[in-house]
Amino acid sequence: MQSRWSGADAAECVERYREAGEDLALRVYSSRLIGQEPDLVLHGGGNTSVKSKTRDLFGEEMTVLHVKGSGWNLDTIEPPGLPALRLLELQRLRGLDELDDERMVRELRRSLLDPGAPNPSVETLLHAFLCHKFVDHSHADAILALTNQPDGEKRIHELFGDRVAWAPYVMPGFPLAKQVAEIVEASPAADAIVLEKHGLVTFADEAQQSYERHVEIVETAERMIAAEIEGRRLLDARPVVSMREAGEIAPLVRGALAVPTQDPDRPYQRWILEHRDSTEIAHFAAADAAPMLAESPPITPDHVIRTKGPYLYLKEPAYSDLDTLAAQLAVGVEAYRQAYRAYFERNVEARGIERTMLDPTPRVVVLPGLGLFAAGATRKEARIAADIAEHNIKTKLWASMIGHYAGLPESDLFDMEYWSLEQAKLGRRTPDLLEGQVALITGGAGAIGEGIAKAVLAAGGAVMLTDIDPERLSAVADRLSSDRCETVEADVSDARELQAAFRQTALSFGGVDLVVANAGVAVAGRLEELEVEEFQRAVDVNLGGTFLTVGEALRQLRIQGTGGNIIVLSSKNVFAPGESFGAYSASKAGAHQLGRVAALEGAAFGVRVNMINADAVFGSKENPSGLWKEVGAGRAAARGLPEQELEAFYRNRNLLKVRITAEHVGNAVVFFASQATPTTGAALPIDGGLPGAFPR
Ligand SMILES: [Zn+2]
How far, in Å, is the centroid of ligand 1 from the Cα of 356? 25
- What is the predicted pLDDT for the residue at 428? 60
Give pTM, 2 decimals: 0.93
Q: What is the pLDDT of residues 191-231, one digit of tens each?
A: 999 999 999 999 999 999 999 999 999 999 999 999 999 88
Judged by average pLDDT, the poorest of 104-108, 500-504, 526-530, 619-623 is 619-623
Alpha-carbon distance of 90 to 129, in angstroms, equals 8
The sign of the dihedral angle between the CA atoms of 110, 111, 117, 122 is negative
Task: Determine the angle formed by the axes of helices 22-35 and 7-16, rounding to 10 degrees.
Answer: 130
Alpha-carbon distance of 599 to 567, in angstroms, equals 10
Judged by phi (left if over 0) then psi (alpha if -120 to 50, else beta), residue 172 lies in: beta
Judged by average pLDDT, the poorest of 114-123, 139-148, 434-443 is 114-123
- DSSP letter (8 states) at residue 489: E
Alpha-carbon distance of 672 to 101, in angstroms, equals 46
- What is the predicted pLDDT for the residue at 632? 78
How far, in Å, is the centroid of ligand 1 from the Cα of 176? 10
Which tops the pLDDT comparison, 617 or 605?
605
Q: Residue 326 to residues 313, 317, 615: CA-CA distances in angstroms?
A: 14, 9, 43
How far, in Å, is the centroid of ligand 1 from the Cα of 657? 62
The question of whether 211 is a catalytic residue gets the answer: no
Q: Residue 614 to residues 37, 535, 662, 669, 686: CA-CA distances in angstroms?
A: 51, 22, 9, 12, 5
How far, in Å, is the centroid of ligand 1 from the Cα of 2? 22
pLDDT > 70: what percent of the chain?
99
Residues 6+ apart with CB under 8 A from 83: 66, 67, 69, 112, 113, 114, 117, 118, 120
DSSP string for 318-377: -TT-HHHHHHHHHHHHHHHHHHHHHHHHHHHHHHT---PPPP---SEEEETTTEEEEEES
DSSP string for 34-60: HHT-TTT--TT--EEEEEEEEE-TTS-
pLDDT > 90: what percent of the chain?
80
Alpha-carbon distance of 296 to 198, in angstroms, equals 15
Q: Following CA atoms 549, 551, 552, 555 in sequence, which dihedral angle do they give, to the nearest 10 degrees? A: 150
Average pLDDT over residues 90-96: 95
How far, in Å, is the centroid of ligand 1 from the Cα of 80? 21
> Which residues are placed with Cβ below 5 angstroms of ligand 1, an ion?
199
- What is the predicted pLDDT for the residue at 419? 83
Task: Tell me the H-state helices in 403-515.
Answer: 410-417, 420-426, 447-458, 470-480, 495-509
How far, in Å, is the centroid of ligand 1 from the Cα of 593? 60
Around 268, how many Cα atoms within 13 Å sit in the side-chain half-sphere? 21
Q: Residue 598 to residues 441, 665, 684: CA-CA distances in angstroms?
A: 17, 21, 16
- Residue pair 284/360 in contact (Cβ under 8 Å)? The answer is no
- Residue pair 602/608 in contact (Cβ under 8 Å)? The answer is yes
How far, in Å, is the centroid of ligand 1 from the Cα of 5? 23
Which residues, in sequence order, are bridge partners of residue 166?
194
- Residue pair 293/283 in contact (Cβ under 8 Å)? The answer is no
If pLDDT is split at 50, 70 and 90, which confidence band does 83 have? very high
If pLDDT is split at 50, 70 and 90, which confidence band does 422 have? low
In what helix (H) or strand (E) does residue 438 lie, and over which residues does it extend? strand 438-442
- What is the predicted pLDDT for the residue at 233? 82
If pLDDT is split at 50, 70 and 90, which confidence band does 580 have? confident
Give phi and psi for 667, each to the nearest 5.
-60, -40
How far, in Å, is the centroid of ligand 1 from the Cα of 550? 50
How far, in Å, is the centroid of ligand 1 from the Cα of 210? 16
b/e burial code for range 179-191 (CB count within 10 A of at least 16 → b): bbbebbeebeebb
How far, in Å, is the centroid of ligand 1 from the Cα of 432? 31
Mean pLDDT of the chain: 93
Average pLDDT over residues 482-498: 97
124: helix, coil or strand? helix
Q: What is the pLDDT of residues 282-306, one digit of tens each?
A: 999 988 888 999 999 999 998 999 9
Give phi and psi for 338, each to the nearest 5.
-65, -45
How far, in Å, is the centroid of ligand 1 from the Cα of 38? 14
How far, in Å, is the centroid of ligand 1 from the Cα of 73? 13
3-state secondary structure 154-179: HHHHHHHHHHEEEECCCCCCHHHHHH
How far, in Å, is the centroid of ligand 1 from the Cα of 312? 25
Alpha-carbon distance of 70 to 364, in angstroms, equals 25
Task: Tell me the H-state helices in 93-206.
Answer: 101-110, 124-129, 141-147, 152-160, 174-185
- The CB density around residue 202, as the number of other CB atoms within 10 Å, is 25
How far, in Å, is the centroid of ligand 1 from the Cα of 683? 56
- Residue pair 574/656 in contact (Cβ under 8 Å)? The answer is no
How far, in Å, is the centroid of ligand 1 from the Cα of 127? 11
Q: What is the pLDDT of residues 154-197, one digit of tens each?
A: 999 999 999 999 999 999 999 999 999 999 999 999 999 999 99
Q: What is the pLDDT of residues 32-58, one digit of tens each?
A: 999 999 999 998 889 999 999 998 878
How far, in Å, is the centroid of ligand 1 from the Cα of 338? 30
Alpha-carbon distance of 564 to 268, in angstroms, equals 10
- Residue pair 549/467 in contact (Cβ under 8 Å)? The answer is no
Nearest to 159 by CA among 254, 223, 113: 223
What letter represents residue 251's amino acid?
P
Q: What is the pLDDT of residues 426-484, one digit of tens each?
A: 666 788 999 999 999 999 999 999 999 999 999 999 999 999 999 999 999 999 999 99
Average pLDDT over residues 584-588: 95
Catalytic residue among 211, 268, 340, 584: 584
How far, in Å, is the centroid of ligand 1 from the Cα of 191? 17
Judged by average pLDDT, the poorest of 259-268, 370-379, 597-606 is 259-268
Give the N- to C-terminal CA distance of the chain in Å, as an integer.
Answer: 70
Which residues, in sequence order, are bridge partners of residue 313?
366
Alpha-carbon distance of 439 to 551, in angstroms, equals 16
574: helix, coil or strand? helix
